Structure 1
Amino acid sequence: MELYYDLLLESFLKLGPEKPILQGTVFGWVASGKVGSSRPDSTLKLAHVTSTQSLDEQLSRFWEIESCWTTSTQSLEETACENHFAAIVFRDQTGRFVVTLPKRAEILNQLGNSKEIASRRFRALERRFDTNPHLKEAYTVFINEYHQLNHIREISDSEASAPIAYYLPHHGVEKAESTTTKLRVVFDASCRTDTGISLNQALMLGPVIQDDLLSIILRFRMHRYVIIADIEKMFRQIRVHPSDYPLQRILWRFSSSQPLRTFELTTVTCGTASAVGGWIE
């Protein structure tokens, strides 16, 4: 009502007894009131807005404004990815969701050797450790936490002989100004193997399931109070099926005097295409 009278114009017509009243508005004429009926004991009540636009144009515009956004048509791959998720997702005995990676089988079979480049990248990381002891300390804390939370498992040389495996190169990004995570470890699933194929190329991309920005902002006008929260280690709250562990291997050792050790990540990994969709490549 605070805006109602701002919409009215000075034009006003009263058509007579048992007839509607016409009121001019910025949107056109508004007709309201009673309309005589052929039945003496009945009258029709109406409210109608007239406009220079056709009825089809008005209805189209109305639904565009009301809906705010329209869901785009999904691609065949996005549909396949959603069907894959619906078919395989389950919860383990602790209640955590377990998923398998949405793989493109024809490309996955082309994955080559990735251990050699992962080894070179790790030795480059160790050279950074030599010049930056603080980075090594933070990295070690990160790996230990990963292990304590059972988000990673070490495998022996005999277990490493999987038909298809992928070694994720990794490096650290330091954020001194961050109040929570000073070190962010990045897993590079876009690194190509010796056949020129990377893990991300062998994974399907699902549709964007987050609400668009407009819908989020509009919800801020619906309630008096707004609560914003952050899910700790969001990706890692979801486990990966053990059959896909070999596709998420990393190399690590606590000292350069030790032999390289092989670990497998057991949770959804930020850096894989299926986890972060359009952010990758």
Structure 2
Amino acid sequence: MWTTTPHIAALSVPTTDPSNTKCYTTKHLITGNRTSTQSEQQLPTYSNASQRSILLATARVIIFNPDNGLQATLNALIDQGSEATIVSEHVVQSLHLTRTSIAGVGQGLSLADPQYYRPKRVDLIIGVDLMAQIILPGIKVGAPNEPIAQNTQLGWILSGRTQPPREATHVVCHQAVLDTESLLKQFCEVESVPERRLNTAEDVWCETFFQQTHKRQPTGRYMVRLPLKTIFDPSMTLGKSHQIALNRYLQLERRLTKTPEAWQRYSDGIKEYFKLNQLAPATTSERQSTTVSDSQHHCSSCVLPHHAVYKEESLSTKLRIVFDASANTSNGRSLNDILCVGPTLQNDMSAVILNWRQYRYAFTADIQRMYRCIDVHPEDSEYQRI
């Protein structure tokens, strides 16, 4: 988005000695941007065969490796048909356990404990070698289609048949409420000509500052001062910007040199600034315009990054050089941040279109290099280094 806010720029041309980088300041007004691994097989702990489910005895067990102190909480399947207690390969690797080859054990049984109805990976099978040590007196028997509960050292375990899971029923209700009064108000606002907003105190100061500081030179060109917020708010200062702009320039140079035509047009655009006397060597360095207060650097100058915008379909200007006055300096502020925007001076577009309807013919025109026809005061050109 382009604005009429005065922006500033400077061109850094690197030499063989980085400390000897030359800097130039612009003497005109500049516009800128304001701106697949294999998955584990999981089986549920119930069977849907013949519309019935079988519940397997499960428990949550803490396994501890005394050799290295590692432990893990596992989902355990208590299997009275197993002759040994075994764990999965996942647990062996996690706890660094010693492997023993076995055969004839089912893989991928699904568990669900404490939420037994949810399928999960089986990490441990407790066989009859430990069954006698964990079983406690106490058993509860339900209805024919309900599982039984057995008391153990690990808590109560469930096993047996269960009812098949029921599908959930969702009921969706939609309700629409229309605010006809609000809709009618919005319609009227769209069709009406917008009112010009009231100027703020900053807008009034900015306009007054312009009226008091701008002048017309003997050549007919206007010279203006930048409405810096620093004038009425000393805390609105800039940090260092030279190295940031230099890095951006080197990136631009590497990109443009890959396309000789674009590089030539960029070079011609920079040369035009010198030809029209719109660039001049900077008389001071960033170090000379920098003061330090409370461990913060405050600079009374600014080096603006720039880039080239290439438009092949353009009839007049194939390549334009755009200066980025929204680039942050070392203290987080940009040049746009310390410049007053001022009141809106352009006519409202809807009003302009309505006026066009009064006439049979309408003409449009474009002013070439309009902002470059306005000079900036030499004291403020330090903020327009490129």
Instruction: Spell out the pairing of 1:137-176 with structure 2 (5 A cutoff).
Output: 137-155=264-282, 161-163=288-290, 164-176=300-312
Counterpart of 1:204 in structure 2 is: 340
Quick one: distance in 2 between partners of 1:104 and 1:210? 23
User: Which of 179, 182, 185 is the equivalent residue of 2:318?
Assistant: 182
Report the Cα distance in structure 1 between the residues aligned to 2:198 and 2:287, rounded to whole angstroms: 42
Letter in 2 for 1:149: L
Q: Is 1:72 paired with 2:72?
A: no
Distance in 1, Cα, partners of 2:367 & 2:223:
18
Distance in 2, Cα, partners of 1:200 & 1:146: 23
Aligned match of 1:118 in 245, 252, 271? 245
RMSD: 2.2
Residue 212 of structure 1 deviates from its aligned partner by 0.6
Gaps of at least 5 residues in structure 2 are 1-188, 291-299
For 2:216, the aligned partner's letter is: R
Matches within 5 A, 1:125-136: 125-136=252-263
Q: Would the aligned equivalents of 2:304 and 2:324 in 1 still touch at CA under 8 Å?
A: yes
How far residue 107 of structure 1 moved from its aligned partner, in angstroms, is: 5.9
Q: Distance in 1 between matches of 2:283 and 2:211?
A: 33
Question: What amino acid does structure 1 have at the position aligned with 2:351?
Answer: S
Which protein has the bigger helix share? 1
1:75–1:180: structure 2 CA closer, same or farther, 3 Å change rule?
same
Q: Name which of 225, 244, 249 aligns with 1:100.
A: 225
Equivalent residues of 2:242, 2:286 under 8 A apart: no
Count of aligned pairs between the two proteins: 185
Deviations 1:59-98 (A, max 9, x none): xxxxx9xx95533211111111111111111101111111
Q: Is the 8 A contact 2:216 2:222 kept in 1?
A: yes
User: Secondary structure at 2:223's aligned position in 1?
Assistant: strand
Distance 2:279 2:197 in 1: 37
Instruction: Output the TM-score relative to the length of structure 1.
Output: 0.61
Letter in 2 for 1:189: A
Unaligned 5+ segments in structure 1 are 1-63, 251-281
Question: What CA distance in whole angstroms lies between the structure 2 residues aligned with 1:246 and 1:211?
Answer: 32
Higher relative contact order (CA 8 A, sep 6+): 2
The one-letter code of the counterpart of 1:71 is R
Q: Which amino acid aligns with 1:237?
A: C
Determine the C-alpha separation between the residues in 2 that align with 1:242 and 1:157: 12
Per the TM alignment, residue 237 of structure 1 is displaced from its structure 2 partner at its CA by 1.4
SS of residue paired to 1:247: helix
Report the alpha carbon displacement of residue 148 of structure 1 after superposing the two structures with TM.
1.3
AA aligned to 1:70 is E
CA 1:72–1:237: 2 relative to 1, 3 Å:
same
Structure 1 distance, partners of 2:235, 2:312, is: 38
Q: Is the 8 A contact 1:166 1:246 kept in 2?
A: yes
Rounded Cα–Cα distance in structure 1 between residues aligned with 2:288 and 2:237:
17
Contact 1:192 1:198 in 2 (8 A): yes
From the superposition, tell whether residues 208 and 225 of structure 1 become closer, same or farther in structure 2 (CA, over 3 Å). same
Question: Cα 1:214–1:132, aligned 2, differ >3 Å: closer, same or farther?
Answer: same
- SS state of the match for residue 131, structure 1? coil
Q: Secondary structure at the match of 1:111?
A: coil
Provide the rounded CA distance (Å) in 2 between the counterparts of 1:208 and 1:185: 25
1:194 and 2:330 correspond: yes
Partner of residue 216 from structure 1, selected from 344, 352, 368:
352
Task: Go from structure 1 to structure 2 and tell me whether the alpha carbon gap of 1:157 and 1:201 turns closer, same or farther (over 3 Å shift).
Answer: closer
SS in 2 for 1:121: helix
TM-score normalised to the size of structure 2?
0.45
